[in-house]
Amino acid sequence: MSVDPVLSEAPARPDGPDHASGSAAGPRRRVVRRLLHNPLAVASGLVLVVAVLVGVLAPVLAPYTAEATDFGATLAPPGTPGHLLGTDDLGRDVLSRILLGMRASLLVAVLAVVTAIGVGVPLGLVAGYFRAVDGVISRLTDLMLAFPFLILAVGLAAVRGASLGNAAIAIGIAQVPGIIRVVRSDTLRLKSLDFVAAAVVDGASDLWVLLRHVLPNATSVVLVQATVAVPAAILGEAVLSFLGLGIQPPAPSLGTMLAAAQPFAARAPWNAVMPGLAIMLLALSFNVFGDSLRDALDPRGSRR
């Protein structure tokens, strides 16, 4: 027996998530309702939708192409007619390059996170479900962790050359251990629940149990992990491109813009400030939305 419920838990305790079936419509609706009631979630969600739209439509939205130079107006300050956010040292429009750079950031982030999920989810499921391979996968995770993403990117760049794809791979591999960890622990948890045991007793194959019972229930932890992984990937891309290990100039990227702005930073600070703010806005909205999502999914209510 525990202490009186009044002390051990809030009296208005929300009911726990329904793990008894894969199609848990009730909890899902509750999560959406909770998100809609959280102003921060709504605001960050809106920013995200706009950011994704901007990313998709950037070539249409951008007033200039990324490489269009205007030598008559190099290092023009923000507010210059025709160049809302000014121009860089080659007279390229900063706004256009930021929009196209955000597109590149999102592309790399999506590639990286999809890679990480594609590799991490199966490994995590297998590690949590089959004790025999758990140790092997744990060592593999340790191994991946031992190569920080930048060092991995350095190695990849050395062996295969610097490119957008290699940057995405380096970032993606760096995120695999995190995905494995959350999926593994959720699989362990789900495996001990009655409905999985019941399926096993009914003679379902391991693959069937994993795909039909464990995987659908593990989606929420993967989703939360992904909302943490995307902003990390956006920052990672910016770092790699800044160092010259990612997207190669003159292709527009927020990271390369910052690198290019460095020598002129004192004369044209907007060149160095604007792309950074764009990165931060993207990452921040993902992080805020991710936090709200985690709160909404937490059966204990708003906690962390």
Partner 1 sequence: MTTATTTTGDRPAPADGEPVLEVRDLSVTFTTEGGTVSAVDGVDLTLGRGEIVGVVGESGCGKSVTAMSLAGLLPRSAEVTGSVELLGRQLRGAPPAQLRAVRGNEIAYIFQEPMSSLNPVLTVGRQVSEVLQVHERMSRARARERAVELLRLVGIPSPERRVRQYPHELSGGMRQRVMIAMAVACDPTVLVADEPTTALDVTVQAGILDVLRGLRDRLGTSILVITHDLGVIADVADRVVVMYAGRVVERAGVEELFVHPRHHYAAGLLSASPTPGRYAAADDRLQEIPGLVPTLAEQPDACTFADRCPAATDRCRSAAPPLAELDPGSGHEVACWHPRGSTPTTDHPAGEEDA
Partner 2 sequence: MARYLATRAWQSLLTLVLAAVVVFLGIRALPGDPALALAGEDRSPEALAAIRSEYGLDQSLPVQFWQYVTRMVRGDLGTSIRTGEPVSEMLRTALPVTLELSLLAIVIATLLGVLAGVVAAVRRGRPEEWVANGLALVGLSVPHFWLGLVAILYLAVATNLFPASGFVPLAEDPVANLHHLVLPSVILGTGLAAVIMRQTRSSMLDALSADYVRTAEAKGLRPRVVVTRHALRNSLIVVVTIVGLQLGALISGAVVTEQIFTLPGFGKLTIDAVFQRDYPVIQAVVLVTATSYIVINFAVDLLYSVIDPRVRVAGEAA
Q: How far apart are CA 299 and CA 31, in angstroms?
A: 10
Least gap, CB of 8 to partner 1 (angstroms): 9
The H or E element spanning position 49 is: helix 39-61
For residues 69, 75, 79, 80, the Cα torsion angle rounded to the nearest 10 degrees is -60
149 binds partner 2 (CB under 8 A): yes
Residue 8 or 23 having the CB closest to partner 1: 8
Largest Cα separation within the chain, whole Å, is 80
238 binds partner 2 (CB under 8 A): yes
> Is residue 154 within the footprint of partner 2 (CB under 8 A)?
yes
Mask: binding to partner 2, 30-59, rule CB under 8 A, as x and -? ------------------------------
The reply to whether 244 sits near partner 2 by the rule CB under 8 A is yes
12 binds, among partner 1, partner 2, none (CB under 5 to 8 A by kind): partner 1
Give the one residue of 224, 245, 260, 293 binding partner 2; rule: CB under 8 A.
Answer: 245
Contact between residue 300 and residue 34 where contact means Cβ atoms under 8 Å apart: no
The token duo for 224 is 């939360």
Site for partner 2 in 121-140 (CB under 8 A): 138-139
Does residue number 239 form part of the binding site for partner 2 (CB under 8 A)? yes
Q: Draw the binding track, 178-217, toward partner 2 (x: CB under 8 A; -: no contact).
A: ----------------------------------------
Token pair belonging to 64: 């200039």
Nearest residue to 94 via CA among 261, 291, 218: 261
Cα–Cα distance, 43 to 292 (Å, whole number)? 11
Residue position matching structure tokens 């950011």: 51
Cβ(167)–Cβ(175) below 8 Å: no
Smallest distance, partner 1 to C-beta of residue 14, A: 10
Binding characters for partner 2, 260-279, by CB under 8 A (x = yes):
-xx--xx--x--xx-xx--x
Alpha-carbon gap, residue 226 to 144, rounded angstroms: 18
What angle (nearest 5°) sits at the alpha carbon of residue 9, between those of residues 7 and 10?
A: 100
CB of 37 to partner 1, least distance (A): 11
Least separation, in Å, of the C-beta of 130 and partner 2? 19
Q: Which is nearer to partner 1, 12 or 159 (CB)?
A: 12
Give yes or no for a contact between 246 and 164, defined as CB atoms under 8 angstroms apart.
yes
Q: Please, how many CA atoms are within 13 Å of residue 282, restricted to the half-sphere of its CB?
A: 32
For residue 93 the two structure tokens come to: 């429009």
Tell which one of 43, 67, 280, 299 touches partner 2 (CB under 8 A). 280
Contact residues: partner 1, CB under 8 A:
1-7, 10-12
Binding residues for partner 2, per CB under 8 A? 138-139, 142-143, 145-151, 154-155, 157-160, 174, 231, 235, 238-239, 242-245, 258, 261-262, 265-266, 269, 272-273, 275-276, 279-280, 283-284, 286-288, 291, 303-304
